[in-house]
Amino acid sequence: MPAFSKTRIAPTPSGFLHLGNAFSFILTAAMARLHGASILLRVDDLDKERCRQAYLDDLFDTLLFLDIPWDEGPRSPKDVYDRFSQHLRLDQYETVLSQLHQAGFLFPCACSRSDLANAGLNSGCTGKCLEKTAQAAAWKIADSPETIEILSYPSRFSTYPFPTAMKHLVVKKKDGFPSYHLASVVDDVFFGVDLIVRGADLWESSLAQLHLSSLLPTTRAFAHATFLHHPLLTEDGQKLSKSAGHNPIRQLRQTALHRKEIYQQASRFFGLEAEATNLREFTDLLDPTRFASL
Ligand SMILES: [Zn+2]
């Protein structure tokens, strides 16, 4: 079994956490224990509009409720603001953005989503946007590869076609802030994360982030991270998302659902042979090889 040094729990506090988030946290924590990795709690709080105090409180309450430990990162909502906010690392993101810019990897683009949709593009740039010079522009990656290599859990390099939707990835948004992808890559490299456990909905994001990281020597270490994309909770065939608002953990806590019931549900969801009632049991029962092909 390979050893890893660090994984991360990296929620974006833009809504109340749901059961799918809890399952992902549990799996991440169990994988860390199995592989001797430490856990970084990383709060993606760049988007000030969407990141609210109540959501931050919910995050810490949920981790406490699930009895999920972490070794590094903020200990409380206040600690996020004081020491760990991504807003405190804007200089780092700016450094990488200017390196990308100076190396000629970026181009400005002011196309809106509707511009791209009208042009029949799900990504890219119509080229017309730059005629409207008064508009604020996002900065995007100019070129993308035909294929991209990813190191999948436990230790398998595979090559996949580069996803069309991820061409011309935004690295700096129109509002001047770094994009989620840029910040995520820079943070994972900075903190030394080498095991990334995330939902299968982020598969294309992982490929895009690998390409982004490959452009600069300072971020290239990201390519050595191992990825485990786990299945997502679905209900009636639909992805269980925050926006859908299903089963917020907050409600489950308030309706006196016990921690063990969440672990039992997570056990069934991830196909464990028996139902765990806490993190230790979940870790003992988890057979990580079942994720080897994902
Ligand atoms: Zn454009």
Residue 37 lies in a domain: yes
> What local confidence, expressed as pLDDT, does residue 131 receive?
64
Tokens, residue 47: 């988007």
With respect to residue 123, please indicate whether it lies within any of the assigned structural domains: no
Ligand 1 centroid, distance to 112 Cα (angstroms): 8
Contacts of 1 (CB under 8 A, 6+ apart): 34, 35, 154, 288
Domain-embedded: residue 116: no
| Measured distance CA(182)–CA(68) in Å, rounded | 27
- Helices assigned H by DSSP within 154-287: 180-191, 203-214, 249-254, 259-269, 279-285
Mean of pLDDT over the chain:
89
CATH number (domain holding residue 276): 3.40.50.620
Give the distance (Å) from ligand 1 centre to CA of residue 148: 24
What 3-state class would DSSP assign to 24? helix
Ligand 1 is an ion; residues with CB less than 5 A from it: 109, 111, 125, 129
Q: How many separate domains does the chain show?
A: 1
For β-strands 195-199 and 226-230, DSSP reports them as parallel
Beta-carbon count within 10 A of 279 CB: 20
The residue type of 158 is: S
Q: Is the pLDDT of residue 240 over 80?
A: no
Residue 233 has pLDDT above 90, yes or no: no
Q: Is the pLDDT of residue 256 over 60?
A: no
* Residue 290, pLDDT score: 84
- 130 CA to middle of ligand 1, Å? 7
Query: Does 131 fall in a domain?
Result: no
Joined tokens for residue 269: 């969801």
Residue 126 lies in a domain: no
If you average pLDDT over residues 77-95, what whole number do you get?
A: 97
* Containing structural domain, residue 178: 6-105+143-291
Distance 54 CA to ligand 1 centre (A): 36
Q: What's the whole-number mean pLDDT along residues 161-168?
A: 93
Q: Write out pLDDT tens, residues 12-71.
A: 888 899 888 999 999 999 999 999 999 999 999 998 888 889 999 999 999 999 999 999
The residue ranking higher by pLDDT, 289 or 209, is 209
- The Å distance, Cα 109 to ligand 1 centre, comes to 4
128 in a structural domain: no
In a domain, 137, yes or no: no
Residue 191: name the closest of 216, 233, 219, 169 by CA.
219
3-state secondary structure of 283: helix
The Å distance, Cα 131 to ligand 1 centre, comes to 9
pLDDT of 221 higher than 50: yes
pLDDT score recorded for residue 289: 87
Distance 150 CA to ligand 1 centre (A): 29
Structure confidence at residue 237 as a pLDDT band (50, 70, 90): very low
